[in-house]
Structure 1
Amino acid sequence: MTSHARLVLGILELDEGLMPDSPFNVQREGALQNPETFSVPILTELVDGALADTVIRGDPSLEGACVAAAQRLVARGANVISADCGFFIRHQAAVSAAVNVPVAMSSLLLIPTLLRQLSPAQKLAVITADSRHCSEDLFGIENPADRARVVVGGIEGGKYVRDALSRPLVLTSIDQIEQEVGACVAQLRAKHPEIGMLLFECTGFPCVTKALRHKTGLPIYDITDLCRLTLASTGSLALQ
């Protein structure tokens, strides 16, 4: 692994028509792009052609652009790579193979581990921006019994997703995001009372994670938890 003078998080950005330091990205408490979330410097690189709807649906042609953006981040000093959409997980393998630093493209990478934190009778609920495209092939599990313990709920059709797909991008209030995600969680829990833990796929959800942990009484993981773990494990190496 290449050594660096400091620990730096690099983020692959969606093409949202915003400057990387836009207030939309950096000012919200708990946001992935907010340096205070991790107390480390953050670098961003736009993935050419990575419109939100394109990434959500899955477009194999984005792989080269993801790799190129990750390589630019590493060249600029990033020693951990993440991404600003959980559906970038489709390019996890390609990016990991192309750079010599840890890559954590999506909170969905946590699914196999989180299932093992729960009792076999409990279920893990994945809350996503769009459940229509959050398919089992993204979960990293092969055992049918484990797959049956993962339930998925999405907020597609809500204001947050409509705003995120708008051009120019529209800022959705935190209250609105909390309302939509909270309603989705409530519906899933009514249908699956065995749910014992939540995983937020969408990188726009960390701004409401704290509030919903309190309201639901459930453990909730999101992309910032995965990034913290990866940064912590890399920190001593970055200073060598």
Structure 2
Amino acid sequence: ARGAVAITANCGYSVRHQAALAAAVGVPVAATSLILLPLLLRQYPVTTKIAVVAADASCLTDEMLGLNNSADKARVVIGGIEGGVMWQNEMKRPPPYTEPVQIQIELEACIEKLRTDNPDIGAILFECTLFPLVSPALRKKTGLPIYDVTTLCELTFAAA
């Protein structure tokens, strides 16, 4: 009613509220980058895996990821940086600042392990809204496309 053309959120786990938010308002809702996963699974060849990297991978479920069939499930590799400095900081209230270089170090280690175990990863989807701070550097370092909430917001607002 006040002129919003879209609504976004600041936590990837807002996926739990995506459907309710979209049903309650008359504008596009981009509550989480995780809603990009079905799109990515269709954009890449069926032989390519998509890595989903989360702040805490133990929180992700197939339902949250929109994985409804075994073929899609087999193509998704999940990793997280739970237990790291960023995760520990985010568990505090208020959360203390985490240097972007620390986030990058933790993500690099996670991605390296995922790629070692799954060399057929063709793209990465970041769940956490803090990760875009280092997405450009990690795109360059990994040579892989990395999608995040910024990617989703750019897509949503470009169409609004």
Fold-level match, TM-score > 0.5? yes
1:223 and 2:130 matched: no
Instruction: Look up the equivalent residue of 2:73 and give its one-letter code.
Output: R
Displacement of 1:78: 2.2
1:137 and 2:63 matched: yes
Does residue 165 (structure 1) correspond to residue 91 (structure 2)? The answer is yes
Query: Given residue 158 of structure 1, which amino acid in structure 2 is its aligned partner?
Result: G
Once residues 141 and 130 of structure 1 are traced to their aligned partners in structure 2, the CA distance between those partners, rounded to angstroms, is 18
Q: TM-score, with normalisation over the residues of structure 2? A: 0.97
1:100 aligns to what SS in structure 2? coil
Residue 76 of structure 1 deviates from its aligned partner by 4.1
Structure 1 alignment gaps of length 5 or more: 1-74, 235-240
- Percent identity, please: 53
Alignment of 1:103-118 (within 5 A): 103-118=29-44
Aligned to 2:14: 88
Question: Which of 103, 107, 110 pairs up with 1:184?
Answer: 110
Name which one, 1 or 2, has greater alpha-carbon Rg: 1
Letter in 1 for 2:4: A
Amino acid at match of 2:130: G
Alignment of 1:79 with 2:5, yes or no, is: yes
Instruction: Check if 1:126 corresponds to 2:65.
Output: no
Instruction: Compute the TM-score of the two structures, normalised by the length of structure 1.
Output: 0.65
CA separation in 2, counterparts of 1:228 and 1:168?
29
Deviations 1:160-215 (A, max 9, x none): 01111112321000100000011100000011111110000000000000000000
Residue 123 of structure 2 corresponds to residue 200 of structure 1: no
**Partner residue of 1:149?**
75
Deviations 1:131-153 (A, max 9, x none): 00111111223121111100100
Q: Contact 2:62 / 2:68 at 8 angstroms: preserved in 1?
A: no
Runs of 4+ more than 4 Å apart: none
Of 77, 92, 101, the match for 1:175: 101
Aligned pair count reads 160
Corresponding residue for 1:210? Answer: 136
CA RMSD of aligned residues (A): 0.9
Provide the rounded CA distance (Å) in 2 between the counterparts of 1:168 and 1:105: 22
* Residue identity opposite 2:153 in structure 1: C
Q: Deviations over 1:212-237 (max 9, x none)?
A: 00000000000011111110101xxx
